Structures are given as structure tokens and as C-alpha cells.
Structure 1
Amino acid sequence: MPFASFSFTKQLAVLLSGVMLLGMLSWWSYSAHQLDDILTHQISLRAQVQSQQLSQLSSLIAAVGSGSASKTSEIINAVQAVSDADFITVSDRAGIRLAHPVAERVGLPVLGGDIERALENGESYLSYGVGSLGPSVRYISPIFSNEGDVIGMIKVGYLIDTLDLWTSERLLPLISFGIIAVAICIWLSWKFSRYVRTQMQELEPWQLKQALKTHQGVLQATYEGLVAINSEGSLYLINDSARAMLNYHQELGNVFTDGIDNPESFSLKGDDYINGLIRVNGKNLVMNRVTLRTSTGEPYGAVFSLRDQNEMHVLSEKISQVTQYMENMRVARHEYQNKLSTISGLLQMGAYDKALSVCLSQAKASQSQLDSLHALNSRPALSALILAKASKANELGVALSIDCQSDLSALSRRLSEEQLCGLIGNLAQNALEAVKGQENGHVHIGISESACEYTIQVSNNGPLLESEFDVLCELGFTTKQNKADHGVGMYLVRSIVEQGNGHMELDSDEQETAFTIYFPKELG
């Protein structure tokens, strides 16, 4: 199986084991070499000490001087019995053995060819050679007479086989230690690789790389602002949306407190929450917090999501508008069902003329409304909205007049039809609520144009508005009792007007309240 096909854990374990095994082999080679050198040096030193001491033994000097092989062998055999040397041999001046571990070889010439320096020059030296007992390391010392003449030599030696045996005996514990060490290294390599994999969430490197890229993509693709802090409260993650909301341009790793009314907002204090409100640099933000915890439940960080409160209000207003549209459609459906039931009853009674009169009356009323919206044929959504408001007005008993003389075509580059629906829908809804329950309540919706501008006007004959215009358009301000569900409409209207580069005027007295909006046809 190719190495590249292994998992990251196996690759790491194999590489670590290989490195450790290579280190163990290097250590073993060096240790064995050093042990062999030390043992050889010690053996050589032993042979030297024994050889030099025996060469000065007076009884041995006398025996060699007399040429007595029996006396020499007797002395050497006694020494051999207490020595760890493999052999001790003695020869006379002519190189004839006077003592040898093998008695039959006494009287024969010495083998090895390395005794000339001792017999001829009187030197003491270490020698490696092959004798009658095999290859060995031996120390050769000359034997001097009392007159100082060389009368023979003594050789103390250790066989190479003995050295190998001693080396093996001393290496055996090292071999056992090495095997155990290798096994431990392999086990540690495997455990370490498993630990690394656990820290990597049981993922392969390519999976981590893919997850990181996906994480970064999702982070930046998220419309909401996302911020993450560690246990010290330092930011370690933030997307572009959050940077824009918080006006944060510093490097990560800092505690964020600039411009926050409550510096503890981005901290681990307190419980998690949803839709909390904070104020940063004069901007209201809706924030959620989720605490990150260890397996033991200890917090080690938190993730915050941020949304602009204004956007939340605008979205809420749009949802409210959709709900109103649905309610208006329900009212219209209910009204037409009643009229159809009336017509059906008249037909069953045979009152055909009366049924026809009801149909014509309804058709005339519907056609009148459709005719008033003829200029908005290119804007079906806006036409449907105004018709829905007409149905709502009819249900409330309010007279609603429509005068649309323009399709606002030049505004298409600045405002979408949805925005126009939001603008007119909010003004119309406020007008209907202003005259709700009032006798002879009346609402007027007018759209016109001149050579240089468009005009949108929504008026009603409701009570006087005493609040200032700027106050009416503030986010959260409402004149209604249920403040929780209102306070966004006029803010949204002003936002749309500003986006379309228009301006809005308010005229209010005891007889009439009118909101008039002007949009220039051309900019610049």
C-alpha cells in the first residue's frame, strides 16, 4: 500500500517511529562500537599488567634461566588457575615453548611470528595474531636475567572468541533495552498521532483546509455581523459586516470597548440572550450571544450576532404591510361574497331588474376606481395597494378619493415599485386610522406631475397634528396607544423620500391634514 494513501495519523505515526528507530539504531551502533573499544582496551591492559608482572617474577626468571620446562609449567599453571587470561605461554631465548596451556605443545616452537621484537630487542608490546589456539590479542614481555640479558619471553593473551562472548554478554542488556525502547517509541508515536488527530477534530489536513476555507466563505457571506471573543474578551474573529457596524479597523486580539455605551456588552458576564439592544457609535444594534463551553461546562469564549435595529424595524414594517394587504384582500373577498349572495338571492326571487341594478352599480363603482388608476397601468403592485386601501376604507365607512395622473416613470431609476408602495401605503394607512370612527371621514390620494417634478399627496379630514414634522419621522415615535407595534411607518416614509432625493411637507389644521411629497424628475 503506498505511503501517500495512509491517513494522516498513520503517516505521522510511521514517520515518528521511523525517526525514533533511526535514532535508536544510531545509538546502538555507536554504543556497540564504544563498548567494543572499551572492552578491548581493558583486556589489553589486563594482559599487559599480567605479562609485565610475571616477567619480573624471580622464580619464573630462575626457571627460564635454567631451561626447566617442568618448573616453568608448574609456575605458569598455578598463575593460570587464578587468571582470567585464555593462555599464558613462556618460551626461551630460542623461541621454544617452556609452558603452554596444552602440555603436548611444550617444547615446540612458538607460532604467530610476533616474538622477535621481544627476544631480539627486549621490547614489550601488544600484538594481534593467530596462534595455535586461534586468533587472539596478547601482550608480550621479555624475561631478563639478573645480568640484564634476554633469556626468554612471556605471552599473556585473550582469544577473540572470548572477547566476542564478553561483548555479547554486555550487549545483551542493551539489546533488551533497545527493543523495549523501540516498542515504547512506536507506542508513543501512535499515541501522539492520535492526540494530534483528536486536536484536529478527527479530520485530515485536507479536510481542515477545506473546512477553514468554507468557514471563511460562510463568515463573509453572512449578512449579519458576527463577532467571536475568547475567555479574556479579546476579539479573534469578525466578519466584514460586523466591522462596518462597529467601525472596527484594528487588528484582532484586542478587547473592543470603543464607542460602546456598555463596555461589558462584549464579555462573558451574565447569561446568553436573544435580541439584546446595544448602542455603538450612536447606532442601535440588536445583538444575540451564545457562550462557547468546554466539555466540563466552563466558558472559553462567545459568539455574537449583530443586526441594525433600523433594518429590523423596516423589515417588521414590511411584514406588517403584507399582513395589511392580506387583510384588505380578505375584506374585499368578503364584501364581494356578500354582493354575490345578494345578486343570487335577487335572481332566485325573480327580481332580475334589481339584480341587474346591483351589478351595474358595483361595476360602475369598480370601473370608477379602475379609471382613477388608469395612469398606473405600468405599476400593478401600486394599483393593487391603492385598491386594497379603498376596500379597507369602505369597510371602515371612510370615503376615499383617488386622483392618479402620473405613473411616476422617471422615479424608476431611484425608487423601486415596492418602495413606492411602502411610501403611499404608510401614508394612506395613517390617514385611514386618523379618521377611523369619525363621521364623514374622508381620505384623498393624489399623484400628479408637472414639467419638473412629481407630486404625491395623501390628505385626510382628521384631527390636527400637533407634533413637529421631524418628531413624527423619528424611529419609534407614534401617536397611537399601542407603541410596541408602531413607530416605524413615518421613519420608513422619510427614508424612502430621502433615497429618491425628494422632500416632504406637512400641512395640518382643524379642517385637514396633508402630507405632500415632491420628487424632481431630473437630478443635478
Structure 2
Amino acid sequence: MRFTTRVLLLQLSTVVAVVLVSTAVFIVLAVEQLKQEAETSALSIARTVAAAPVVRSEVALETSRQINPSAGELATGPLQSYALDVTGRTNALFIVITDGEGIRMAHPDPGRLDRKVSTSFEEALRGEEVIAWERGTLGDSVRAKVPVFAPDSREPVGEVSVGFARAGVLDDLPGLLFGVGAAAALALLIGTGATLVLRHRWEELTLGIQPEELVTLVQNQAAVLDGVGDGVIALGTEGVIQVSNNAAEEMFGLQGLEGMSLQELGLPTDVIASLEAGEERDGIVVGDRVLYLDSRQVDRAGQRLGSVIVVRDRTDMMELSERLDSVRAMTSALRVQRHEFANRMHVAAGLVEAERGTEAAEFLRTMRDRGPVDYPLAGADLLTEPFLQSFLGAKSMEAAERGVQLQLRDESLVLGEVGGVEGTEDIATVLGNLVDNAVTAALAGPAPRLVEVTLLDDGPELVLVVADSGPGITPGTLGPMPAAGESGPDRIHGHGIGLALSRDLLRRRGGDLWVIDPGGGESGRGAVFGARLPGVMFPGDDLREDEE
């Protein structure tokens, strides 16, 4: 049996029990009220009759006589006539008047006159009023007995007994029971209707899921939310977060997402619009993380319940992608360098074989000073560090292909050497991202399109400054640095993902990334970015020789 059916039966049973108990109590109270009304009426009539002057005088006279009148005399006497008249007007079963010895002086049945009453009359002759349910010569009745006092005296000389038939007392009970029954039936009908409405509302709210199924549903929800590495956010129809797991809270850097809206998560407006439309968005920068968001609408039985957003952390993948791009750039540079170096070695070998030693020596000295490859990097002779020279050389070739001149500024001074695989990868990631963004920005600016790089080292620390000739950073797009990319993509400087990743990478190493000059506006300058990379440089050969 379904839970809602059991609840329905339980509620109906409760309503029936309450109605039955209430009906029984009401009937008992109604019967008691009818009895009390009959007793009050009998007592009032008896008091009125006993106080009548004719009754007091006739009863006092009869009690004082030595010989009682006969039944015939009493039947035609004033008391019988008075009692019958009052009986007819009050619909009483009987009105009996007796003398001090209990002899009937008035009775509905004339044949019972001049006889002693069948019930006790001593209390009335003691001056007491009595109400009792008794059986007499006329059957069961409620009767009131009051004393009759002698004229101008408080001495009891007789009794007046007024009775109403038991059946007559309950004459109004059938109508009362009908009213009670109708009210009970109406109460049952209302209770049944309320129970059915409650059942329908219950199933509507729970989508027809029974409590036993709810337990399983909660267990499955806990398993799904806590058993996956992805973040899960459930939105209601009003766009308020109803459920979230720990992974989602960790990715957004917030606690207690329930009750919050998507705007409070720091998501851009266009991303929120896409999620509300059930679309997916990738590369969303939130704080130090790059997130993938996938929104799915949830329906059950044709009813819209809201949506579920799956959140995946793409930060590590994007960092690997940035490093991979840097490695590809270095690989391409090395391939070009190897090919060019081989060609120059052939030239040098040819000069030696042709016994043109002076020219060969001069050619080799030029290779030593300028490097094995002629890169389109202006100011390349200012840089002797092999890795930085090769990396910027490769970037200059890529920039040249896009019509942008890459230049090393005169202020550059690098005395040490890049050390370690991790340091090499970090420099390639940060410098490569800044140069690529600068090239993209320069393409949006006027000719000549130029990107300037300044490199300075101080012990183990390397400082980068990258400037472009583009239109500058559009206000409000990158957000306040170093929180680059949090407010959405910049139309010129890329999507902000690389900047956020580079900043996060530098901060983990103890460095930083910031905007020196946003450019644009009346200045007519492009943007200038700065970065500080600690622990990536080691003393060069010249420095090591000086230390020795």
C-alpha cells in the first residue's frame, strides 16, 4: 500500500473517530439539557400551582377536616377544575394536588381521587422541594413536588406534584439527532475532501515519490554529490542554488552556496545567460581557477524543476596547455636553429676547404657574436642567455609572420642563466603568454606595430616587462589586476585565461603579475604588463668565474 494511501486512511479514521466522539458527547449533553429543561418546567409549574390562593385555601381546609370528601365531591371541586385547566395549558402529563395525608384532591383520572398517592410525599410535607424521575400510576415521568402552605403561613398542609412523561421529554430528540447527524456527515465530507486535497498536494510537492523512495533518493544524491570530483550545483526554477557539493564550493572559493544566486558566484553576465539557456561555457576564469560549466535542464513528468550545473576545474589542463605551447615554440625555434646552424656550418666548412681561412674565421666570429640564427628580434645582441635568446627569437619569427616587430629594449640586462626544467617551463609560460597577448593587441593598433620586451635579473629573480603599441586595455574588461580575467574577456588582450594562469603560477612561486600601465585613452600608448619570477636564474659562467 502506498504511503499516501495509508496517510489518507489514517486521516479518514481520525476524522471519523473525532466526529463519532463529538456526536456522542453532543447527544449526551443534548439529552441532559432536555431533561434539565423538563425538570425546570415541572418545578416552575408546581411552584405556581402551589402558590395559587385557591389551592392554598382548599388544601388547608381539607387538611383541617376530620372527614375527607368523597371522590365525586372532589371531581366537581375547584381544585380538580383548576388542575385540569393548568394541565391542558402546560401539556403536562399530570398535576396532582394532595392534602396533608397524601390523599389526592386533584388528578387527571377522576377515578383515582380520594386515594393516597403512589409515591413518597413526606419531603414536601417537611417543606422541601423534590425533583425526581419516578414511575407512578401514569407511567415513567419526571416530576416536581413542592409543598402547599396554609394561607398567611409557612406551615405545609399539602403537596403539588407536576409531571412530564419521559417520552415527551425526548420528543425533540429525533430532530436534534438529525441535526447532529447532518453536521457529522458534513464534517466527514469536509475531512475527506481536506484529506484528498492534502494527498494531492503531497504528491505534487514530492512529484509522486513515496517516503521510502525519498530515503533512497537522498542516499543516491549523497553518493552522486560526494562521489564525483566535479562540482555539482542544482538551481531551482527561480535561479537560486538549492544543492551543491564540496567540490563546487572549493572551486568557487565560497562556503554554503545554498540560497545564493549565480550573480553572487562572481560569474559574468553573458556566462549566466548561457547557463540559464542550458548551454555550456568553457574557459571561465573565477579567482585562481579556469572552469568549465555545463548546464542541463531538469524536467520530471513534464514539470520544470530547474537545472543542474556541472563544474569542472580546467586550471591544471590549461596550465599544461600553456606549457605545451611554450614547448612547441621552443621546439620550433630549436628546429629552425638546428637547420640554420647546419647551413652555416656547411658555409664555414666550404670556406675552410677553399683555403679561405680569413673569411672562415670572420664568419665564425660573427656566428659567435650574433648567434647561430638570424632572428627578426631587434636588439637581440643585448641578450646572450641561450634559452631566452632562442625563445624570444622564435616568438619574434611568429610575430614577424603576423606583421609585428618584436624588440628587446636597451634597458635589458641578463647576467645569469635560466636553470632547471621547471624554471624554464615557467618562464616560457609567463613570457610566452605576455608576448602573445601583446602581439594580438599590437595588431589592433596603428602601424608600426611593435612589441617591446625588457628583461632584468637580480640574483635568482627575473623581471619581465612587456609593452605593446595596441589601443590599451578596455576599462572594466580585465578587472583590477592582478585579478586578471575575473570580469570577463578583453576584446584585445585575449580571454584573460593565460593571465590568470600565469598570475597563479607566479604566486605559487612567490612572484606576481600586474598591469604597469593600462594604456589607451588620451595617452595613445598600449598596455604595459610586468611580472616577477623568483628562483629561475642561476649565475652565468662569467659570474661564476668572478666568484672563483
TM-score band by shorter chain is: 0.5 to 0.7
Aligned partner of 2:251: which letter?
Answer: M
Give secondary structure in 2 for the equivalent of 1:80: helix
In the alignment, the residues of structure 2 paired with residue 286 and residue 9 of structure 1 have an alpha-carbon distance, to the nearest angstrom, of 42
List gaps (5 residues or longer) in structure 1.
Answer: 1-5, 318-418, 442-459, 506-524
Query: What is the Cα-based RMSD across aligned positions, in Å?
Result: 4.8
Q: Which residue is 1:38 aligned to?
A: 33
Aligned partner of 2:121: which letter?
Answer: I
Q: Post-superposition shift, 1:41?
A: 2.1
Q: Which residue is 1:308 aligned to?
A: 313
Match of 1:197 among 195, 203, 220: 203
Q: Which residue is 2:190 aligned to?
A: 184
Give secondary structure in 2 for the equivalent of 1:130: strand
Aligned partner of 2:133: which letter?
Answer: Y
Q: Which residue is 2:51 aligned to?
A: 56
Contact 1:260 1:278 in 2 (8 A): no
Contact 1:233 1:266 in 2 (8 A): no
In the alignment, the residues of structure 2 paired with residue 436 and residue 291 of structure 1 have an alpha-carbon distance, to the nearest angstrom, of 55
Q: Which residue is 2:82 aligned to?
A: 75
TM-score by length of 1: 0.57
Match of 1:239 among 232, 240, 245: 245
Q: Which residue is 2:20 aligned to?
A: 25
Q: Which residue is 2:6 aligned to?
A: 11
- Listed as ranges, the matches of 1:321-332 within 5 Å are none
Per the alignment, do residues 205 and 220 of structure 1 end up closer, same or farther by CA in structure 2, a change over 3 Å counting? Answer: same
Q: Which residue is 1:100 aligned to?
A: 107
In the alignment, the residues of structure 1 paired with residue 224 and residue 240 of structure 2 have an alpha-carbon distance, to the nearest angstrom, of 22
Q: Which residue is 1:87 aligned to?
A: 94
In the alignment, the residues of structure 2 paired with residue 56 and residue 18 of structure 1 have an alpha-carbon distance, to the nearest angstrom, of 57
Bigger mean CA deviation after superposition, 210-219 or 142-151: 142-151
In the alignment, the residues of structure 2 paired with residue 284 and residue 124 of structure 1 have an alpha-carbon distance, to the nearest angstrom, of 100
Q: Which residue is 2:139 aligned to?
A: 134
Bigger mean CA deviation after superposition, 206-215 or 133-142: 133-142
In the alignment, the residues of structure 2 paired with residue 258 and residue 185 of structure 1 have an alpha-carbon distance, to the nearest angstrom, of 46
Per the alignment, do residues 274 and 437 of structure 1 end up closer, same or farther by CA in structure 2, a change over 3 Å counting? Answer: farther
Contact 1:268 1:291 in 2 (8 A): no
TM-score by length of 2: 0.55
Contact 1:231 1:268 in 2 (8 A): no
Contact 1:9 1:193 in 2 (8 A): yes
Q: Post-superposition shift, 1:432?
A: 9.9
Contact 2:53 2:151 in 1 (8 A): no
Matched residue count: 367
Contact 2:295 2:307 in 1 (8 A): yes
Aligned partner of 1:473: which letter?
Answer: T
In the alignment, the residues of structure 1 paired with residue 265 and residue 235 of structure 2 have an alpha-carbon distance, to the nearest angstrom, of 18
Per the alignment, do residues 84 and 266 of structure 1 end up closer, same or farther by CA in structure 2, a change over 3 Å counting? Answer: farther
Q: Which residue is 1:206 aligned to?
A: 212
Bigger mean CA deviation after superposition, 56-65 or 11-20: 56-65
Q: Which residue is 1:172 aligned to?
A: 178
In the alignment, the residues of structure 2 paired with residue 433 and residue 305 of structure 1 have an alpha-carbon distance, to the nearest angstrom, of 42
CA deviation profile, 1:73-130 (whole Å, cap 9, x unmatched): 2221111111032221222222222222333333332112x21111x31322222221
In the alignment, the residues of structure 2 paired with residue 222 and residue 109 of structure 1 have an alpha-carbon distance, to the nearest angstrom, of 103
Bigger mean CA deviation after superposition, 221-230 or 427-436: 427-436
Q: Which residue is 2:414 aligned to?
A: none
Give secondary structure in 2 for the equivalent of 1:161: helix
Q: Which residue is 2:369 aligned to?
A: none
- Listed as ranges, the matches of 1:240-255 within 5 Å are 240-250=246-256, 252-254=258-260
CA deviation profile, 1:256-288 (whole Å, cap 9, x unmatched): 778847489669997443215432223222223
Bigger mean CA deviation after superposition, 144-153 or 131-140: 144-153
- Listed as ranges, the matches of 1:308-457 within 5 Å are 308-310=313-315, 313=318, 430=332
Q: Which residue is 1:517 aligned to?
A: none
Give secondary structure in 2 for the equivalent of 1:165: coil
Per the alignment, do residues 51 and 194 of structure 1 end up closer, same or farther by CA in structure 2, a change over 3 Å counting? Answer: same
In the alignment, the residues of structure 1 paired with residue 231 and residue 316 of structure 2 have an alpha-carbon distance, to the nearest angstrom, of 13
Point out which structure has higher relative CO (alpha carbons under 8 A, 6+ apart). 2
In the alignment, the residues of structure 2 paired with residue 265 and residue 85 of structure 1 have an alpha-carbon distance, to the nearest angstrom, of 92
In the alignment, the residues of structure 1 paired with residue 237 and residue 170 of structure 2 have an alpha-carbon distance, to the nearest angstrom, of 64
Contact 2:34 2:170 in 1 (8 A): no
Match of 1:122 among 127, 135, 145: 127
CA deviation profile, 1:147-196 (whole Å, cap 9, x unmatched): 64544211111222222333343232112211221232123223312321
Contact 1:226 1:306 in 2 (8 A): yes
- Listed as ranges, the matches of 1:505-524 within 5 Å are none
Q: Which residue is 2:429 aligned to?
A: 473
Contact 2:275 2:295 in 1 (8 A): no
